[in-house]
């Protein structure tokens, strides 16, 4: 089985984002069968059909090309108002267009959500699942990852607290098995 490229989509744009720090740790915890890399979404203009021309915005093309080249998808997102951040929703829309040319379809995916509250980004996780089902992304069902107390899981040096690190290591191994199952060798 060859190494699989994984597009890691981080829902938060903040420089010191907890989601980004979690994503960086997930990348470090990935087994050697996966090659995860963050695909940036902060420079994507809001989706507007008027911009969908022979020469769409270069950042749209870059994003689409990077996601298209991936064999799997890993979403790491905070929860904003019981849903996904606007930047993540915009990235989903950019990747799903033009109609009939979605870069998402058929790629195995997984979601890691979190919040500083106790429900661990449940609303964001399930809102994202709803979009991914429509876009034909088979999502890993277990283990689910809802990280509550998000702000207390990353230590000052950027590493994860040990219990979270071990949980996310197991998650990444389960995700690798999921990608192999869906994407094949």
Q: What is the pLDDT of residues 95-104, one digit of tens each?
A: 999 999 999 9
* Residue ranges of the chain whose pLDDT lies below 50: none
- Beta-carbon contacts of 65 under 8 Å, excluding residues fewer than 6 positions away, are none
- Cross-strand pairs, 2: none
Per-residue pLDDT of 150-175, as tens digits, reads: 889 999 999 999 999 999 999 999 99
Provide the pLDDT for residue 68: 98
Provide the pLDDT for residue 185: 63
The answer to whether the CB of 36 falls within 8 A of the CB of 26 is: yes
Provide the pLDDT for residue 2: 84
Domain limits at 80? 4-183
| Nearest-angstrom CA–CA distance, 20 and 38 | 9
Task: Provide the token pair at 114.
Answer: 């979190």
> What are the contacts of 42-49 at 24+ separation with CB within 8 A?
42/13, 42/87, 44/87, 44/90, 44/91, 44/94, 46/90, 47/90, 47/93, 47/94, 47/97, 49/97
Q: Looking at the 3D structure of the chain, how many domains does it have? A: 1
Provide the pLDDT for residue 94: 98
Provide the pLDDT for residue 1: 57
Tokens 């199952």 locate to: 181
Provide the pLDDT for residue 21: 96
We report the CATH number of the domain holding residue 115 as: 3.40.50.360
């Amino acid at each position: 089985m060859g190494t699989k490229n994984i597009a890691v989509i981080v829902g938060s744009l903040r420089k010191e984002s907890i989601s980004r720090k979690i994503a960086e740790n997930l990348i470090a915890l990935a087994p050697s069968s996966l090659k995860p890399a963050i695909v940036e979404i902060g420079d994507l203009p809001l989706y507007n059909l008027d911009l969908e021309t022979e020469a769409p915005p270069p950042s749209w093309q870059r994003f689409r090309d990077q996601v298209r080249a991936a064999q799997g998808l890993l979403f790491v997102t905070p929860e904003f108002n019981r849903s996904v951040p606007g930047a993540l929703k915009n990235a989903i829309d950019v990747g799903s267009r033009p109609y009939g040319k979605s870069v998402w379809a058929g790629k195995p995916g997984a979601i890691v959500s979190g919040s500083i509250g106790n429900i661990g980004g449940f609303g964001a996780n399930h809102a994202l699942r709803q979009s991914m089902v429509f876009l034909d992304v088979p999502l890993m069902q277990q283990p689910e990852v809802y990280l509550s107390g998000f702000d207390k899981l990353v230590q000052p040096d950027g590493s994860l607290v040990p219990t979270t690190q071990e949980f996310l290591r197991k998650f990444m191994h389960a995700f690798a098995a999921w990608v192999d199952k869906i994407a094949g060798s």
